[in-house]
Amino acid sequence: MEITILISSVGRRAQLIDCFRRSMRAMKLTGCIIGIDCSSSAPGAHLVDHFIKVPGCATPDFLATILRLCEQHRVSLLVPTIDTELSIYARHRADFAAVGTTVVISASETVSVCADKFISHSWLVENDFPTVRQGTSGQVVARPSDWEFPLIAKPRRGSASVGVRILHSLDSLLDFSKDREDLVVEEIARGFEYTVNVFVNREGQCVCAVPHRRLEVRAGEVSKGVTVRHRKMMEFASLVSERLPGAYGPLNLQGFLSSDDEFRVTEINPRFGGGYPLAHQAGADFPRWLIEEWLGLPSSASFDGWQDGLAMLRYDSAVFLPSQELENHRP
């Protein structure tokens, strides 16, 4: 059996590529992993079986280009990886299905909830899920005595910790928020920071939840972490993901576990998270379960069949290649 996997915006996703490759090998499947990106200097472009440079997801030609590639290369599964492309893929799942490609993405309603931190917070509150207190900069400025500094300010639609600022005073908030309407302001959560990687099947059931404690973070992505079999957090993450309107495939919840054992969600991402390789190594084989669903095979997914206490210590690596292969190369 042959299968073709397309990883969109392949960027630096070297470990995700390896996860899919290992799962295909374990299933004794032949096939191809295609990577697409708007830059041929992306490291992942040189680690996949076949790379195709495409327009950026904000350009008018993006959708038509990817649809054409999927049809030409008979792509089985398309795996989005960055927040800015998720809504496009979610809105056009049926168009991809028409050319034989399953997009590993939740419904547009879930993507919309997760993409905007103000909407995410409102949804969590409306569904009685524990989260942090949030407001606009204007609300904080109007009643500063109701808030305890330091606070944290974030772009409503930001990702990878870009544009996040710790604010230690009202003056710092006034300065940072000047002429900006895209910010939300939150109290700083207390406790240990966790991510829970979850997998939701086509029936909307969460079939696996893997918490890991974020011991060290670099550029918004975990660089050191350890899996923790925290049953209450696992069941909570399952409940949240199943409550989302049309969740499917890999998602991850980020939040903080307080000293009184309450997990408060600060963010939900409807895609493979940067720390997913830790869950994969621990035994939560999301790529295999996606492929099993695509092939119509019984699922081997297990809710807690993964290794507790497995640590991940990331390090830098590199791709080496002739300089002529780099775009815009100058001697």
CATH code at position 81: 3.40.50.20
The verdict on 64 and 176 lying in the same domain is no
List the structure tokens of 102.
């399953």
For 19, 21, 28, 85, 275, the CA distances from 25, given in Å and listed in that order, are: 10, 6, 5, 29, 22
Which of 158, 161, 4, 6 minimizes the C-alpha distance to 80? Answer: 6
Q: What is the pLDDT of residues 256-274, one digit of tens each?
A: 999 999 999 999 999 999 9
Q: Is 59 inside a domain boundary?
A: yes
**Angle, vertex CA 81, rays to CA 19 and CA 58, nearest 5:** 155
Q: What is the pLDDT of residues 194-239, one digit of tens each?
A: 999 999 999 999 999 999 999 999 988 999 999 999 999 999 999 9
Domain carrying residue 159? 133-187
The verdict on 201 and 179 lying in the same domain is no
C-alpha span between 78 and 139 (Å, rounded): 41
The pLDDT value recorded for residue 327 is 61
- pTM over 0.75, yes/no: yes
Number of domains in the chain: 3
Q: What is the pLDDT of residues 150-161, one digit of tens each?
A: 999 999 987 766
Q: What is the pLDDT of residues 4-18, one digit of tens each?
A: 999 999 999 999 999
What average pLDDT does the structure give for the chain?
A: 95
> Is the CB of residue 75 less than 8 Å from the CB of residue 4?
yes
The verdict on 177 and 202 lying in the same domain is no
The pLDDT value recorded for residue 219 is 82
Query: Quick one: what percent of the chain has pLDDT higher than 70?
Result: 98
C-alpha span between 201 and 281 (Å, rounded): 20
The verdict on 194 and 178 lying in the same domain is no
pLDDT at 319 over 70: yes
Q: Is 122 inside a domain boundary?
A: no
The verdict on 264 and 195 lying in the same domain is yes
Task: Give the mean model confidence (pLDDT) for residues 126-130.
Answer: 98
State the DSSP code for 117: H
The verdict on 92 and 175 lying in the same domain is no
State the DSSP code for 44: G
The verdict on 284 and 258 lying in the same domain is yes
Reported as a pLDDT band with limits 50, 70 and 90, residue 330 is very low
Q: Is 295 inside a domain boundary?
A: yes
The verdict on 213 and 285 lying in the same domain is yes
Q: Is 123 inside a domain boundary?
A: no
Q: What is the pLDDT of residues 65-121, one digit of tens each?
A: 999 999 999 999 999 999 999 999 999 999 999 999 999 999 999 999 999 999 999
Reported as a pLDDT band with limits 50, 70 and 90, residue 163 is confident
> Is the CB of residue 184 less than 8 Å from the CB of residue 153?
yes
pLDDT at 329 over 50: no
The pLDDT value recorded for residue 162 is 78
Q: Is 29 inside a domain boundary?
A: yes
Q: How far is CA 287 from the centre of its chain?
A: 14
Single-letter code of the amino acid located at 73:
H
The verdict on 165 and 66 lying in the same domain is no
The alpha-carbon radius of gyration of the chain (Å, integer) is 20
Q: Is 319 inside a domain boundary?
A: no
Task: Give the mean model confidence (pLDDT) for residues 44-56.
Answer: 96
Residues ≥6 apart with Cβ < 8 Å to 89: 8, 78, 80, 96, 103, 105
The verdict on 76 and 141 lying in the same domain is no
Q: Is 321 inside a domain boundary?
A: no
pLDDT at 331 over 60: no
